[in-house]
Amino acid sequence: MSPDIRAFRMQLKPGVVDEYKRRHDELWPELGQALSDAGIYDYSIFLDEETLSLFAVLKLRPDHKIGQLPMQPVMQRWWDSMAELMLVEPGNRPREWPLKQVFHFA
């Protein structure tokens, strides 16, 4: 059975790349635990330096609970702390544009 893979785009604001990277390099342990508990693993975010677009790719375990993650207080605190750096929805959740997989080589 192939893993459930999600990919999406987010958008940084100008002049915040270094700060965005720093905050992720110092990811809160409790946030990392919440991501793991939600069934997320092998999670990467890539930056297009020309457009400041972020491209995220993550894998989900079969018993994932990713839908519960937005209600976690640590997730909401993280979004609040990151809101100044990126485009967000009401409630400070980062704006996400889903990406459709068009090719996979294994």
Residues with active-site annotation: 24
Q: 57-91: string of b/e by CB count within 10 Å (b at 16+)?
A: ebbbeeebeeeebeebebbeebbeebbebbebeee
